[in-house]
Chain A
């Protein structure tokens, strides 16, 4: 096997034994990028010199016996939402096309501390607003399993890159499913941790009370290693939580005896693709055979999740995106008459895509005088009810298992003109962000078009260990994670 096709533990072992160097691995990754990224378009920015110089440094540190840890010298890609010092960070948008930040986000600093090799910046829906990566201002990313299909979004580039071995692991963000949906579409492991588990400092904000950072890996163990490296309190983020980070890899026992798994009935409904529902149910049965107990639970407010999410997220976004005004950084478009107002409008018109502008308008409306109570405030109250649903469910079980998408990944261009229909496909993933819960996705099958089907595992706040435990046990008893797209 080529180096770029391997996962973190294997590479780490080889590096430790001197069987290869970080430079070797990085070269292998870049060879792969040259091979397939023309077709997939996962990367918005990559630079072999930049990567190799980090790899060289990692090799030097290893020889000196410094910074020895599983991630030293491992090539990792970053969704273009993470501010990376000295490297263009666009957030998939023309308004930041030439923006080069003078500082690193906290998670990037932490990865650099571990001696990770940053391979480049990965494609995404503009400002993380989308579920297909078709919303990128720089062209869509394609699914490595089928180039006419979406890779999911908004972290489509991050998932596709891992899936096609264009990096060993990557980071994405998730506000309403933006890690989990791409993980499902691309057949990789992806986890959105509990809100507050990982620092948001230096992550371009979409919806502040929902955004979280999470890793993509080729398997559950890789995701666990990555999460251990980036999680933990950050004094620069007032919403980050002072709870110790457990050694997640310790949960990878392969045991699920006595674990209670809940299947929420509202997530297996009429109108969703039967094959998807059956595949996920089959996965639950596999776990049952391994000794877990599977019960049915109810999350009664599920049908209100989309409306709640699509009020709260655009509201917060409309405020978060006000800073893109052409004054201190980013795109500026001067217009006639020469005035501040026309500059603001021309800049934001040219710089933001239609979907971004649409969400800003929705969010401005739902916060405006006369409408705040009926929309934003109401949605925040319903959010409390949604959270309570999960509290009740987790009294009866340790982990919930659900589908990720109500359908299979569709072809590029299918839903792009119908925003509301696109929003509705987020039905299974937004609830987790609204409640602040951790959620992971791993592959649990393939459909007749050889596209991956993912399953989602949810747990209570700061119970990522239970998710890793369950996911790992399932994964080790199946072969899905070993398949690779033929590209």
Chain B
């Protein structure tokens, strides 16, 4: 087994996903298959090979330190699922 159900549940929690018992079962099987497939990469010797973070070797993309008007607060909040006054509102943070 490359991954256990407990690990899947832990990783799901890290990603703030809730998994039903059925999903957890299915995902574990599928993920196991997929991770086993990934083992393929071990066949390659990558000692001394630089990782590709970006396709193009560029550096220094900057902008000047100038202020541009922000979004009107109505626009910033226009898609908010819950708000109060000019704040986004969220449920109780402490469990």
B34 near A345 (CB under 8 angstroms)? Answer: no
Could you say which residues of chain B place their CB within 8 Å of the CB of A338? 91-92
Q: How many A-B residue pairs have CB under 8 A?
A: 163
Majority secondary structure of chain A interface residues (helix, strand, loop or mixed)? helix
- Answer yes or no: A360 CB below 8 A from chain B CBs: yes
For window 388-437 of A, CB contacts with B under 8 Å fall at: 419-420, 423, 434-436
A384 near B91 (CB under 8 angstroms)? Answer: no
CA distance A239 to B53 in the complex (A): 11
B53 near A380 (CB under 8 angstroms)? Answer: yes
**Identity of the chain A residue whose Cβ is nearest the Cβ of B78 in the assembled complex:** A102
B79 near A99 (CB under 8 angstroms)? Answer: yes
- Answer yes or no: A481 CB below 8 A from chain B CBs: no
A381 near B49 (CB under 8 angstroms)? Answer: yes
**A458: min CB distance to chain B, Å:** 14
Contact for B88 among A328, A352, A436, CB less than 8 A: A328
Could you say which residues of chain B place their CB within 8 Å of the CB of A79? none
**Identity of the chain A residue whose Cβ is nearest the Cβ of B82 in the assembled complex:** A332
CA distance A352 to B43 in the complex (A): 34
Could you say which residues of chain A place their CB within 8 Å of the CB of B78? 100, 102
B71 near A239 (CB under 8 angstroms)? Answer: no
A461 near B71 (CB under 8 angstroms)? Answer: no
A340 near B17 (CB under 8 angstroms)? Answer: no
CA distance A419 to B34 in the complex (A): 9
Could you say which residues of chain A place their CB within 8 Å of the CB of B17? 345, 348-349, 352, 357, 360-361
B18 near A435 (CB under 8 angstroms)? Answer: no
CA distance A354 to B54 in the complex (A): 29
A358 near B91 (CB under 8 angstroms)? Answer: no
- Answer yes or no: B84 CB below 8 A from chain A CBs: no
A385 near B44 (CB under 8 angstroms)? Answer: yes
Could you say which residues of chain B place their CB within 8 Å of the CB of A326? 81
Could you say which residues of chain A place their CB within 8 Å of the CB of B88? 327-328
Q: Which candidate, A18-26, A255-263, A304-312, is the interface stretch facing chain B? A: A304-312
A332 near B81 (CB under 8 angstroms)? Answer: yes
Contact for B79 among A100, A348, A382, A434, CB less than 8 A: A100
B81 near A329 (CB under 8 angstroms)? Answer: yes
**A91: min CB distance to chain B, Å:** 14
**A453: min CB distance to chain B, Å:** 28
**Identity of the chain A residue whose Cβ is nearest the Cβ of B72 in the assembled complex:** A102
Q: Which candidate, A40-48, A183-191, A371-379, is the interface stretch facing chain B? A: A371-379
Interface 1/0 per residue, A109-149 and B, CB below 8 Å = 00000000000000000000000000000000000000000
- Answer yes or no: B6 CB below 8 A from chain A CBs: no
B40 near A360 (CB under 8 angstroms)? Answer: no
Contact for B41 among A196, A308, A340, CB less than 8 A: A308
**Identity of the chain B residue whose Cβ is nearest the Cβ of A388 in the assembled complex:** B49
**B10: min CB distance to chain A, Å:** 9
Could you say which residues of chain B place their CB within 8 Å of the CB of A238? 61
Count, chain A residues at interface, CB 8 A: 70
B40 near A303 (CB under 8 angstroms)? Answer: yes
Give the interface centre of A328, A379, A423 by most chain B CB atoms within 10 Å: A328
Could you say which residues of chain A place their CB within 8 Å of the CB of B90? 327, 340, 343
CA distance A378 to B38 in the complex (A): 10
CA distance A209 to B52 in the complex (A): 10
Known: A338-B91, A343-B90, A345-B17. A361 touches B38 (CB 8 A): no
Contact for A310 among B11, B38, B53, B80, CB less than 8 A: B38
Q: Which candidate, A9-17, A273-281, A362-370, A467-475, is the interface stretch facing chain B? A: A362-370
- Answer yes or no: A341 CB below 8 A from chain B CBs: yes
- Answer yes or no: A195 CB below 8 A from chain B CBs: yes
CA distance A345 to B93 in the complex (A): 13
Contact for B91 among A99, A339, A436, CB less than 8 A: A339
**A370: min CB distance to chain B, Å:** 11
Interface 1/0 per residue, A189-200 and B, CB below 8 Å = 000000110000
**Identity of the chain A residue whose Cβ is nearest the Cβ of B62 in the assembled complex:** A238
For window 18-34 of B, CB contacts with A under 8 Å fall at: 18-19, 23, 27, 30-31, 33-34
B14 near A362 (CB under 8 angstroms)? Answer: no
- Answer yes or no: A264 CB below 8 A from chain B CBs: no
Contact for A346 among B12, B18, B35, CB less than 8 A: B18
CA distance A365 to B2 in the complex (A): 12
**Identity of the chain B residue whose Cβ is nearest the Cβ of A243 in the assembled complex:** B56
Could you say which residues of chain B place their CB within 8 Å of the CB of A423? 34
Could you say which residues of chain A place their CB within 8 Å of the CB of B40? 303-304, 307
For window 315-359 of A, CB contacts with B under 8 Å fall at: 318, 322, 325-332, 334, 337-346, 348-349, 352, 354, 357-358
B→A interface (CB under 8 Å): 3, 7-8, 11-12, 14-19, 23, 27, 30-31, 33-35, 37-38, 40-41, 43-44, 46, 49-56, 58, 61, 63, 71, 75, 78-82, 88, 90-95
Q: Which 9 A-B pairs have the closest CB atoms?
A: A436-B55, A380-B51, A329-B79, A332-B81, A345-B18, A238-B61, A381-B46, A344-B16, A195-B55
A→B interface (CB under 8 Å): 98-100, 102, 195-196, 209, 235, 238-239, 241, 301, 303-304, 306-308, 310-311, 318, 322, 325-332, 334, 337-346, 348-349, 352, 354, 357-358, 360-362, 364-365, 368, 375, 377-385, 387, 419-420, 423, 434-436, 461
User: 13 A-B contacts, Cβ less than 8 Å apart?
Assistant: A98-B79, A327-B81, A327-B90, A334-B91, A345-B16, A354-B23, A357-B12, A361-B15, A365-B3, A365-B35, A383-B51, A419-B30, A436-B56
